Chain A
Amino acid sequence: MSRAEAPTPTASGAVPLASLGPGACGLVESVDSSTPVGRRLADLGFLPRTQVRVLRRAPLGDPIEYELRGYRLCMRRAEAARVLVVPVDPRTPPSP
């Protein structure tokens, strides 16, 4: 599994969730599940093929609000950088 943290796409075109702007959508490709934080993100629903929508950034840029699995959650960039997503067209209906 790639541990890339910079917004350079991996072979599959995946980028860190933190690099997506408001309004964008992504399908989770992987979460670094070797760390406790990564496992917690998985338990919060960041699992492969889950669709995540970026709702907004806080006025000072951090944290960022996301919608996934029918609920809304905010987290800091540092945490969002651990989730790799493949950007998708925001108009596609959610299909976890």
Chain B
Amino acid sequence: MSEASLGPGLLRLGLIGSPNSGKTTIFNALTGLRAKVGNYPGVTVERREGELEIDGRRVRVIDLPGTYSLTPISPDEAVVGRVIAGELGPAPDALLLVADACTLDRSLLMIAQVLRRGVPTCLVLTMTDELHARGGVLDLACLERALGIPVRGVVGHRGLGLAALRPLLAHPESWSRPHLLPPEPAEERAGWAASVLASALTRRPGPSRSSEAIDRVVLHPLAGTLLFGTVMVVFFQLIFAWAVPAMNAIDAGVGWAGGFVHAALPPGLLADFLADALIAGVGSVIVFLPQIVLLFTLLCLLEDVGYMARAAFLIDRVMGRIGLEGRSFVSLLSSYACAVPGIMATRTIPSPRHRLLTILVAPLMTCSARLPVYALLIAAFVPPVAVAGPLRLQGLVLLGLYLLGALSALAVAAVFGRTLMRGESLPFYMELPPYRWPTAKLVVTQVWGSARAFLRRAGTVILTVSIVLWCLLTFPRTPAPPGATAAEARRHSLEHSLAGRTGRALEPWLAPLGFDWKIGVGLLASLAAREVIVATLAQIYAATDDETSLRDALRRDADPRTGRRIYTPATVASLLVFFVFALQCMSTIAVMKRETNSWRWPAFAFGYLLALAYAASFATHRLVTALGGGP
């Protein structure tokens, strides 16, 4: 066949395989860092495509979600079959089927299903080095004859065999096709698989001795549990501690850029807009980047090594009790640092129901953005007295807030799982792959992909909301009274802005919680990000950036009519509880939208958390008032 008859058209190649088959490594090796990420309509499955050129022909590789079967048991799983059938865009011209050579016995059950689709198919066997190391002998020529399709062996992470694979990919019309299709019923497929295996697998691979030895420790009831605890504490600590210098640097950079704009431009709307809306808005997005990069690097390493499946195996029982599963644990733990990467980490959960439940409760885990708010209020209003030994009241209050968040997340998951999201979950099953060395290239590719996706998708939403919030806090502009200092002028303009007026208008709603209009404005501003309330209160109290003076201003603030203190113990407790529950973080909302592929779930999460925050704050205010801590 001549080159010309192939036509200049784009060749679509569907990449299909089960989880842990090395499919992602093959995808990255073929397409490099040029993958385009999107969503399929109506489901939460990510759509990844990448292009390459072979022999002057453009080839688009469509990475299909990993699956063990073409018989779907959820809408998300049905995506694979629908893409092959051409129901979601043009059907692929050919399929590249990736299977782990060591699990060929099981993989043949799906290979049979794929062959029955009648699309030109080429089988790529990965981990052929591991097969040999475990004493297995596989005759690829025999396998080709038995299946009737081209078969190539590769060692994906070392790039072996890929050079021989590439030229083949451009010419699927020349691939051999099976003379006889495999049978459909599962039991007959098993017989077919056994006969294929008998002709090609000269010697079965033995068990992976090193993995068995490692698992005797890692999955040991005592040693394994201790190791699990250690890994999780270190993991949590690293995300918290290691990300802080980078986050501070970004914060300082954003502050410097804002200051530069103010210094370089004449004071006025343009400078304010550039510095306070654009630069601060972009800054509020990229400040999460260090945590996202760090978290995904750690997650990727643990996943690629094979520990993540073990951790999920150990903790599944506990998570199962509240209607989640083992893999939810990792995501919820990550949400302690920040719900954004935590929600992105739910992609490893195959059951849509478990995944959605995890996403909905992740914002309840005490993220690092709550810390500045808690720190300000606790430092200002909780006396630094010792309770027992080295335990101090301030630390205990902080610990209590962390526990309240975590317990609420578990309780809400249990309630939603039994009411709102009833119905049968997908069965829980999980492969425990052999331990493998992670490859730097794969980790870098995956981390880079996640960071880029976050910046691009979340960035647009966050920037828009930042601009809207800035407008609310700035307009309409009212001239400051003559002789006012710059700080007083800022307070005056804030008080008469749309946000200030809204705060006043909201007062009847806020009064039952013990909040005045100033706290109302702070809460409105904190819809962008929780910690923004600190800066907003500082502006309202015309305080300098020195935290001590804001603390004093809060302590001194009194109602001008009655002379009563605003921040009574009841109000402070109520405000702290409000922050435990409310979803004041547009980054989280944007990521929920991205991961669930609809506005429905972020809207629901925002609504239920707001209702919960309001009810809990109201109850707290009443309770503390009854105990004598009221106005």
Contacts and interface: CB of A to CB of B under 8 A. Distances in A.
A50 B187 CA distance: 11
Contacts of A36: 73
A63 to B, nearest CB: 5
Given A59-B224, A70-B106, A39 B186 contact: yes
Contact of B429 (A44, A61, A69): A44
A56 B218 CA distance: 12
B205 A44 contact: no
A74 B205 contact: no
Contacts of A41: 427, 429
B68 interface: yes
A36 B431 CA distance: 19
Contacts of B205: 70
A48 B187 contact: yes
A73 B207 CA distance: 14
Contacts of A42: 186-187
B314 interface: yes
Interface string A49-91: 1100000101111110101111111111011000000000000
Contact of A47 (B71, B190, B326): B190
B69 A43 contact: yes
A45 B204 CA distance: 17
Interface residues of A, number: 35
A42 B190 CA distance: 9
B427 A43 contact: no
Size bracket of the B interface? 35 or more
Interface string B96-118: 00000011111001100000000
Contacts of B187: 42, 47-48
Interface stretch (B8-16, B315-323, B492-500): B315-323
Contact of B103 (A56, A70, A96): A70
A58 B313 contact: yes
B225 interface: yes
A40 interface: yes
A6 interface: no
B148 to A, nearest CB: 22
Given A71-B106, A76-B316, A37 B186 contact: no
Contact of A45 (B109, B219, B424, B433): B109
Interface in B158-187: 186-187
Interface string B222-262: 10110000000000000000000000000000000000000
B432 interface: yes
Contact of A60 (B204, B317, B430): B317
B194 interface: yes
Contacts of A68: 106
Given A74-B432, A75-B429, A43 B194 contact: no
Contacts of B219: 56, 58, 65
Given A47-B187, A96-B194, A69 B105 contact: yes
B196 to A, nearest CB: 12
Interface centre among A60, A69, A70, A75, by most chain B C-beta atoms within 10 angstroms, is A70
Contact of B102 (A61, A70, A73, A79): A70
Contacts of A58: 219, 313-314, 316-317
A73 B190 contact: no
B428 interface: yes
A43 B316 contact: no
B151 to A, nearest CB: 18
A33 interface: yes
B221 interface: yes
Contacts of A48: 187, 190
Given A37-B424, A73-B430, 15 more contacts: A40-B69, A41-B427, A43-B69, A43-B71, A43-B110, A45-B106, A45-B109, A58-B219, A59-B221, A63-B428, A69-B103, A71-B106, A78-B427, A79-B429, A96-B190
Interface of A: 33, 36-37, 39-45, 47-50, 56, 58-63, 65, 67-76, 78-79, 96
